[in-house]
Amino acid sequence: MVALGTPFQILTYSLLFLPALLLTTYFLSAFPNTPEPIPILPGLGSLSPSSSVRTLYPEDFFKGGNYFNAPNGKTRYFLLGPETGKKIVLINGLSIPSIIWQNVSASLVTRGYRVLLYDLYGRGYSDIPQTKYDRNLYVTQLALLMQHVNWDRAILAGVSMGGSIASAFTASFPDLVEDRVIIIASTGLILTSDLSRTTKIMSLPLVQALTSSFIARKFLQHLTDSSNQTAPADSMQEIVRLQSAHLPGFNAAISSSLRAGPIRGEFSSFSSDVWSGRKLLIIHGTNDHTVPYKYAAMIQSALPKGCQSEIVTIEGGPHDLTIR
C-alpha cells in the first residue's frame, strides 16, 4: 500500500495539479457564445414597383442585372458590354446608386468595355446591413462581388466616396486592380473643418436613430409627396430624397458612412506603395463646394513617387449629382 505522505506533501501536490485541472476544465467547457447575425434590411426591391423611386430607378434600369448574396446581404449588380471587352468597375458615391453612371456606362459599352456596376450597401436595390459603414464593409463588398463574377482584375473608377473606395480597394487588394484607376471628385482626405454643419449633425448617432425612426420617415414621405405636387425635382436629387423617405435603413447607412466611412482618414490608402507603377487619373471641378478642388492636389501629393498621376480640371464643374 502506497503512503500518501504528510498533510504538507498532499497540500503541495494539490497546489501543483489544481491549476492545470481548472484550466483544462475551463477550456473544455467554456465555449464562446454564438455570435448574433447582423440584422439586414431589404433595398428598393421591397417597395412597390409603382413607388416613385422605383419609377425613376426601376430594377431593370440596366440590362444584365442580377443579385449576389454575401454574409452582409445581397448586392444588386449589372454586367454590360461584350464579355471579351476590357473590364472596368464603376463605383457610386455616398447617396446615389449605380444609376449615376448611366451615361458613362453607355459610352464605355460603345467603346467595347465590359462594365460592372453595382449598388453599394444601403443604396438602391442592395441590402442594408445594420452595421458600421466603414472602409472594410465597402472593400469586402467589392472583393466578394468580383470573385462572384469571376473577374481576376479590373480598372476601377469611382465618384465621390466611390473614389476613396477605389483607392482603399487598390491598397487592400492590389492584385485585383489593373494598372490604372480613375477617381472623380474623390473623398478620402476631407478635413473635419471642411465638413458642413449639416453633415456633422447628420453623422451623429442620435440623429441617425431619429431620422431612421418610423415617425421621421412618415414625415419625410409627407414632404416628398407634397413637393412632387408643386415642382418636379432633378431626378438624381429626387432619388436621394425618396430613398431617405421610403427606404428603411437608408438614413442610418448615410449617417454611418459620414461618421465611419472612407470620407476621411484614407491617407494611407493613397500613399501606399501599391500605387508605384500604376496610373491614377484625378478628375475634379474648380467650383466643387462639397469636395473642394484643393483635395485633387492633396491626393496627388500623397501618392508615392512611382505613381503616374494626372489631374484633369473641370472648370466650374461642381460636385454635381449626375455624371455626363
Q: What is the pLDDT of residues 61-113, one digit of tens each?
A: 999 999 999 999 999 999 999 999 999 999 999 999 999 999 999 999 999 99
pLDDT at 2 over 50: no
Q: How far apart are CA 125 and CA 282, in angstroms?
A: 29
Is 162 a domain residue? yes
Is 256 a domain residue? no
Is 255 a domain residue? no
Is 74 a domain residue? yes
pLDDT at 224: 38
Of the pLDDT bands very low, low, confident and very high (cuts 50, 70, 90), residue 203 is low
Which residue, chain included where needed, has cell 474623390? Answer: 186
Which residues span the domain enclosing 103? Answer: 40-48+62-191+261-314
- CB under 8 Å to 20, separation ≥6 — which residues? none
CATH of the domain at 156: 3.40.50.1820
Q: How far apart are CA 162 and CA 160, in angstroms?
A: 5
Is 54 a domain residue? no
pLDDT at 69: 97
Say how many domains are in the chain.
1
Q: How far apart are CA 201 and CA 27, in angstroms?
A: 47
Is 33 a domain residue? no
Is 285 a domain residue? yes
Is 213 a domain residue? no
